[in-house]
Amino acid sequence: MSRDKGDEKRLPARTVKVFSDDLLPGGTKQRGLGVILMASLGKCHLYAGPENGFAQVALAVASKACGKKAISVVSAPRKGKRHSSVQEAEKYGAEIVEVAHGKLSDVKEKARLICKRQFQEDLNSPILLPFGLDCEAFVDTLVSSLRASLPSHLVKNGPKRLWLVAGSAVLLATFHRLWPKTHFLVVQVGKKIWTDQLEGKISTKFVAKEKFYEPARISTPYPSVDTYDAKVWQFVLKHAVDGDYVWNVARDPPPML
């Protein structure tokens, strides 16, 4: 289980606490996916995303637990070897479909065509999940899961300031619903975070200079995803104040030989 109370990391004259969902197989989004899959009439669920994305792992883990099938559509390896997140999804039973030289738009289109073709052949076609799991049902379920697992004092009185990375911004929406008075320090690591996604929230946005597939320039002092969550740490070192919290979604799986 995760260290829901926050694992302390001491910085010069400051202490920050880290929510370590890297201890959960599948990371944070796995917390809400099981309920969604069990309620679904579908026997197979499909997700399209970048090869280093972790939602595919969350889907694979939750699908295995629910006795359902997962399909992950990703861009083909850039250097001839599958990313560790793809390997991890496959380890948990996901079928992997690769798109050569695929941009995210190409990967999404391939997923749509798979669903369309299989629907024509079989009424039990895969259900395509939205990018980032961006839907009200998932956010509602994840909020409920967090309320049930976090210490009661943190549910009632959330962090004053919380650092997190954002791609689809689904977790930002989730945490804001859970903690509407928290100041969110959001690090953009790939997909642009638009103004309307920050609207109504107390927030400050930072933009990581690394390209999406590049590892973080400064490593975290805890296990993380080096192309995603780890990119928050450079900004924590520079801008964090005493008592800040950091949300760490997942960690890189060990690469398979």
pLDDT tens for 172-221 read 999 999 999 999 999 999 889 999 999 999 999 999 999 998 999 999 99
CATH no. for 30-133: 3.40.50.1100
Q: Is the pLDDT of residue 161 over 70?
A: yes
Spatial contact of 244 and 163, defined as CB atoms under 8 Å apart:
yes
The pLDDT mean for the chain works out to 91
100-106: long-range pairs with CB below 8 Å, 24+: 100/76, 101/75, 101/76, 102/74, 102/75, 102/76, 103/75, 104/48, 104/49, 104/50, 104/75, 104/131, 106/75
pLDDT at site 218: 95
Distance (Å, rounded) from C-alpha 173 to C-alpha 197? Answer: 8
Per-residue pLDDT tens digits for 4-63: 556 677 677 789 999 999 999 999 999 999 999 999 988 999 999 999 999 999 999 999
Distance (Å, rounded) from C-alpha 75 to C-alpha 72? Answer: 10
Instruction: Give yes or no on whether 3-24+136-248 and 30-133 have one common fold.
Output: yes
Phi-psi category of residue 67: left, alpha or beta, with phi > 0 → left and psi -120 to 50 → alpha:
left
Q: What is the CA radius of gyration of the chain?
A: 18
Q: What is the fold, at CATH topology level, of the domain defined by 3-24+136-248?
A: Rossmann fold (3.40.50)
Distance (Å, rounded) from C-alpha 20 to C-alpha 6? Answer: 7
Distance from chain centroid for Cα 94 = 17
Please choose, from the candidates 78, 199, 205, 56, the residue with its C-alpha nearest in 3D space to the C-alpha of residue 131.
56
Domain spans of the chain, in order of start: 3-24+136-248, 30-133
State the virtual CA torsion across 54, 57, 59, 60 in degrees, nearest 10: 170
pLDDT at site 160: 98
